[in-house]
C-alpha cells in the first residue's frame, strides 16, 4: 500500500493550506488524523473527509504530549507537520511569552511529534515525515528574524534527520512555499504584492506534499521561478541578495506584512 493512502497525521488542518493538504490526501484514500485548535472547523472538516479529529493547541505542552502519544499508538505512516504561527515583526516587539509560543508551535512541536512517531516507523521500516517550512527558511527578510529562525531551523532539522533515517526506510521531506494566495498567513493579510511577484495556491502546496511523499524528495519549493532563484542566490550570497531585495522594496513590504500579522501571532 502506498504511504499516501496509509494513516496520515496532518497538523494545522483548520487553516486553509492544511485543509487543502488534508482534502487532497483524502482523495488519495488516506486514513486521516487531523489536528487544529478550532474545534468547530476541525470537526466539520473531519466529517467531510471521514477523518479522526484531535483538537490540540501545539503551544500547550501537555496537549502536545497527548497528541504525540495518540499518534504513536495509531501507527501513523506519514506526518505532515504543517501548523505554524506568523512570527513576523521586530524581535524587540515580541514579548517573552509570545516568543515561547512561536518557537513551540513552529519548531518544537514538529520535532517532538517526529520523535514520538519515529520508533514505530523505524520498526516497520515504513514511514515519511513532511515538514512545511517556507522560502523564509532559505532567504531571510526584514521584520522576520524569529519566523526565519523557526523555518531555517525546521529545514535544517529535516535535512539532518533525513540522513539519519536513510538506512531505516523512512523518508523526510521539506516543503517550502512562497507567497500563497487565497488561504494561509500571507493571504490573510490582504497585502498586495509588487508587480511581477507571482503567487501559488493552497492546492499547489497540497500537490507538493503528495509529490514529496511519493518521490521521497528532500525539498520541494512551491513558488514561481523568480522567487526560487532569489532564495537560491540568498543562500549563496546573502549580503548581495539583501541589497537587491532592499532595492526592490522588501523593507516596505515586510513591514506591511508584519503590521497586518501582529494580531495573528
Averages of pLDDT over each 10 residues, the chain, 265 residues: 92 95 97 96 96 97 96 96 89 92 97 98 97 92 90 97 97 94 74 78 97 97 90 81 69 67 62
Per the structure, the complete domain to which residue 221 belongs is given by 3-264
* pTM for this predicted structure: 0.91
Residues acting as catalytic residues = 147
Tell me which residue of 21, 23, 18 sits closest to 38, measured CA to CA: 18
Sign of the Cα pseudo-torsion (14, 16, 18, 23, in order): positive
pLDDT at residue 143, as a whole number: 84
Residue 106 has what DSSP assignment? I
pLDDT at residue 117, as a whole number: 98
pLDDT at residue 258, as a whole number: 64
Residues of 21-46 as b/e, b for ≥16 C-beta within 10 angstroms?
A: bbbbbbeeebbbbbbbbeeeebbebb
Q: How far apart are CA 62 and CA 13, in angstroms?
A: 20
Which cell numbers in the block locate residue 24? 487532497
pLDDT at residue 75, as a whole number: 94
Domains: count for the chain: 1
Q: What is the CATH number of the domain that holds 187?
A: 3.40.50.720
pLDDT at residue 232, as a whole number: 86
pLDDT at residue 196, as a whole number: 72
The C-alpha cell 513591514 sits at 255
pLDDT at residue 20, as a whole number: 97
pLDDT at residue 24, as a whole number: 98
pLDDT at residue 187, as a whole number: 67
pLDDT at residue 264, as a whole number: 61
Amino acid at each position: 500500500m502506498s504511504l499516501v493512502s496509509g494513516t496520515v497525521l496532518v497538523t494545522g488542518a483548520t487553516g486553509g493550506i492544511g485543509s487543502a493538504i488534508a482534502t487532497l490526501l483524502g482523495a488519495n484514500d488516506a486514513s486521516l488524523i487531523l489536528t487544529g485548535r478550532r474545534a468547530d472547523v476541525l470537526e466539520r472538516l473531519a466529517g467531510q473527509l471521514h477523518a479522526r479529529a484531535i483538537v490540540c493547541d501545539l503551544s500547550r505542552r501537555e496537549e502536545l504530549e497527548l497528541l504525540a502519544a495518540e499518534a504513536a499508538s495509531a501507527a501513523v505512516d506519514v506526518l505532515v507537520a504543517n501548523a505554524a504561527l506568523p512570527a513576523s515583526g521586530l524581535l524587540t516587539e515580541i514579548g517573552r511569552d509570545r516568543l515561547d509560543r512561536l518557537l513551540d508551535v513552529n519548531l518544537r512541536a514538529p520535532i517532538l511529534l517526529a520523535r514520538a512517531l519515529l520508533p514505530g516507523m523505524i520498526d516497520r521500516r515504513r514511514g515519511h515525515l513532511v515538514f512545511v517550512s517556507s522560502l523564509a527558511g532559505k532567504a531571510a527578510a526584514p521584520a522576520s528574524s524569529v519566523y526565519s529562525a523557526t523555518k531555517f531551523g525546521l529545514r535544517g532539522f529535516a535535512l539532518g534527520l533525513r540522513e539519519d533515517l536513510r538506512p531505516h526506510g523512512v523518508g523526510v521531506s521539506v516543503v517550502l512555499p512562497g507567497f500563497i494566495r487565497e488561504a494561509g498567513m500571507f493571504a490573510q493579510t490582504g497585502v498586495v504584492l509588487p508587480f511581477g511577484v507571482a503567487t501559488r495556491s493552497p492546492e499547489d502546496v497540497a500537490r507538493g506534499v503528495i509529490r514529496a511523499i511519493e518521490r521521497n524528495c528532500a525539498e520541494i519549493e512551491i513558488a514561481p521561478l523568480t522567487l526560487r532563484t532569489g532564495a537560491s542566490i540568498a543562500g549563496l550570497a546573502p549580503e548581495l541578495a539583501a541589497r537587491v531585495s532592499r532595492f526592490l522594496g522588501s523593507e516596505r513590504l515586510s513591514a506591511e506584512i508584519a503590521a497586518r500579522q501582529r494580531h495573528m501571532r
